[in-house]
Structure 1
Amino acid sequence: MNTTVNILCYKWKTLSNGEHPLMIRVCKDGKKKYQSLGVSVNPVYWDFKKNRPKANCPNKEYINKIIADKENDFTEQIVQLKSERKQFTVNRLIEKSTKKVQPKTVNDVFLEQIQRLTDENRHGYMLSTKQVYNSLMEFNKHLDIYFPDIDVAWLRRYETWLRKKGIAENTIGIRFRTLRAIYNLAIEDNIAKTEHYPFKSYKVSKLHQETAKRAISKEEIKRIIGYSSKNKFMNFPIDLFAFTYYMGGINFVDIAYLTRDNIVDSRLVYTRLKTGKLIKLPLQLQAIELIEKYSKTNSPYLFPILSTFHKTGMSRVTHSPRRYVCSMVSQ
């Protein structure tokens, strides 16, 4: 069934000033839905046959503009939904057509995202986003701009600026992917429009450089594991490296969060912090020996990297396992 959209003067309701509200009526599948346009008109100034204000209607141009804008909004949504072959109801159509693009700046969206990531304890991603925010502030001097201002030419200027600063190719790629993610977020939140999206033409995928594979031989691994020092602070990072080797290349940060609860039926069971993927590995004898060497009854962790001192996500980032081990080695 066709979808029809009509503007009418809703004469079944009379306001205190004697005027009738202007309504938009949407009909589909035998159902009708009315929505107010937020304006009213005296019935003597309304042409009920043409459903338009009469020539002598006060504020005629203003009312006609509101009517035209609303009709265009609904027409665009109907065409888009039909082109995507999506089924929709009258309520869904009105919901999509009444969503307005919010006038938020790029600065607003960045700061809201940084705060959101902080609240969600995603501090690693938050710090990465904040780094891009600071970079853009340095480049553009401010971010009190709207998303349509970030066009292809703007992106190219930013890329050139980063290259002049000697930023590595893959780092440039990371910054652009973060900026693209912020732009996508703005579109999802109805802050930016897809027709202004610059990344259809500006391809972030080009900002990638293959790096040489950095691997060491099995003999070199054995030499590292077999190294012994009288300095216990030197032995600790070597033991962590050995644990990684014995346990299928477990990520360094994931090691830091391991507790006794991660040992289930002689297997190491944990969820990768980065990807959320569940990992199950049989515990090797050498790995068990390392766990017994470092685990303490007064600590929930298998290795002395984190402690109960690290109560928040931010403190875990600030006192990250890598920094902790490096400080131990420097001693």
Structure 2
Amino acid sequence: MNATVKVLCYKSKTLASGENPLMIRVSKNGKKTYKSLGISINPIYWDFKENKPKRNCPDREQIENLIIEKLKVFNQTILELNATQKEYTSDSLINKVEKPFELKTVDTIFKEQINILEKTQNLGSLHLYRYTYKSLKAFNGHLNFYFSDIDVIWLKKFENSLKNKNLSDNSIGIIYRTLRTVYNIAIEEKCVNPQLYPFRTFKVSKLHKDTAKRALTKSDIKRIISYQASTEREQLSLDIFIFSYLTGGINFVDIASLTKDNIINNQLVYTRKKTGKLIKLPLHPTAYKLIEKYHNPETPYLFPILSPFHKTEQQKANRVHKIIGKTNKDLKNIGESLKLPITLTTYVARHSFATVLKRSGVKTSVISESLGHSSERVTQYYLDSFENDKLSETINYLL
């Protein structure tokens, strides 16, 4: 049975002003539920037969427009429920219309997500959410507004403000992808109407630009390995780069976390922090020598990046952030000394590993497994961003 909806002047309740409230009455299966329209009227101005304000009613036009809009929303909701064959009662219908969304500000949703990431120690995402939150606040002054206020015009203004700060398209893209993710969370939590979703028109993908080539040739790698470091600090940076190159381009954060337990039967076995994927790689003799070089019985870690002093995840993250900065500074100086064609960073080791294998004729599936990618498709996209030259003869060794 369909519900019927009417607006009534509720005579059973008289306010101190002598007026009666206007109520929505929903009737379904013999049950009637009432909900106030939020306005009241002197009964002398109400036509009880026609259920509408009389011609001489003060503010008649505004009251009639309110009634028309409210009835329209209720009837549209009834049609949607009937079309999807969803069961409903008079109470649930009123709740759906009157309380479709739980209004939370952008500030509230962001802080809730940041709190979750802090509790789960998801430090990578936590950094992105905090950075995006800070960027939004710097642009708007405050985040005490609703997601419904974020439209395409707002997004374009925000984009322009970030470009005026000389942020790259990729950096802006990271901010916008994070904002889009939080907007989707707001939709899931019924904090905003999905019909207002601005990212259908504002395409975040336009903010992605292919990064410059970050892979070296095998001959360049050999030059790096032969480089004579001038300090222990520089030598450590050099060794970290070489180890990463020889062990599937392992990320710096994963290198920092490696312990003796990650060496099993002359294999490097670890779970990649970024994807959670288990990686198993045979240890190149040179990589094994580097492990022996930095062996310290007083610490479980393979390299002197972390120590037993760093107990909490935040302490570890702070330490890794500090050391990777120094390492990349050293590598940049080494690259300049060798006159390499690109800026040398820890990430170049990963790109170079993949490119050398590609040139050697190694199958994409093998490279994907080594890199810890979620699929060959990801690896192919990764490789395509380097070069499109023909594969050279297959070689069996990285060095």
2:309 is the alignment partner of 1:309: yes
Q: How does 1:180-191 map to 2 (within 5 A)?
A: 180-191=180-191
Q: Distance in 2 between matches of 1:198 and 1:236?
A: 48
- Give SS of 2:245's match: helix
Which residue does 1:281 correspond to in 2?
A: 280
Which residue does 2:118 correspond to in 1?
A: 118
Which residue does 2:322 correspond to in 1?
A: 323
Q: Distance in 2 between matches of 1:325 and 1:134?
A: 23
Which residue does 1:174 correspond to in 2?
A: 174
The answer on whether the counterparts of 1:269 and 1:280 sit within 8 Å (CA) in structure 2 is: yes
Output one character per residue of 1:225-249: Cα deviation in whole Å (capped at 9) or x when no partner: 2223363222111111111111111
- Give SS of 1:144's match: coil
Shift of 1:69: 9.9
Q: How does 1:259-270 map to 2 (within 5 A)?
A: 259-270=259-270
The answer on whether the counterparts of 1:122 and 1:313 sit within 8 Å (CA) in structure 2 is: no
Inter-CA distance 265–72: structure 2 relative to 1 (3 Å threshold): farther
Q: How does 1:245-264 map to 2 (within 5 A)?
A: 245-264=245-264
The answer on whether the counterparts of 1:106 and 1:145 sit within 8 Å (CA) in structure 2 is: yes
The answer on whether the counterparts of 2:5 and 2:26 sit within 8 Å (CA) in structure 1 is: yes
Equivalent position amino acid for 1:161 in 2: S
Inter-CA distance 327–200: structure 2 relative to 1 (3 Å threshold): closer
2:227 is the alignment partner of 1:227: yes
Q: Distance in 2 between matches of 1:135 and 1:206?
A: 19
Inter-CA distance 310–170: structure 2 relative to 1 (3 Å threshold): same
Q: Distance in 2 between matches of 1:153 and 1:262?
A: 51
Shift of 1:86: 6.8
Which residue does 2:18 correspond to in 1?
A: none
Which residue does 1:237 correspond to in 2?
A: 237
- Give SS of 2:308's match: coil
2:133 is the alignment partner of 1:127: no
- Give SS of 2:309's match: coil
- Give SS of 2:300's match: coil
Shift of 1:317: 2.1
Output one character per residue of 1:154-202: Cα deviation in whole Å (capped at 9) or x when no partner: 1111122222222211112111111111111111111111021111111
The answer on whether the counterparts of 2:187 and 2:194 sit within 8 Å (CA) in structure 1 is: yes
Q: How does 1:76-95 map to 2 (within 5 A)?
A: 80=80
Inter-CA distance 116–25: structure 2 relative to 1 (3 Å threshold): farther
The answer on whether the counterparts of 2:5 and 2:74 sit within 8 Å (CA) in structure 1 is: no
Q: Distance in 1 between matches of 2:153 and 2:215?
A: 40
Equivalent position amino acid for 1:195 in 2: Q
Higher RCO structure, 1 or 2 (CA under 8 Å, sep 6+): 2
Gaps of 5+ in 1: 8-21, 39-51, 53-66
Q: Distance in 2 between matches of 1:292 and 1:105?
A: 54
Equivalent position amino acid for 1:109 in 2: I
Shift of 1:112: 1.9
Output one character per residue of 1:250-282: Cα deviation in whole Å (capped at 9) or x when no partner: 111111111223233332222211122x23333
Q: Distance in 2 between matches of 1:25 and 1:267?
A: 71
Which residue does 2:394 correspond to in 1?
A: none
Output one character per residue of 1:31-78: Cα deviation in whole Å (capped at 9) or x when no partner: x9999979xxxxxxxxxxxxx9xxxxxxxxxxxxxx999997886666
Shift of 1:121: 1.0
The answer on whether the counterparts of 1:104 and 1:191 sit within 8 Å (CA) in structure 2 is: yes
The answer on whether the counterparts of 1:257 and 1:306 sit within 8 Å (CA) in structure 2 is: yes
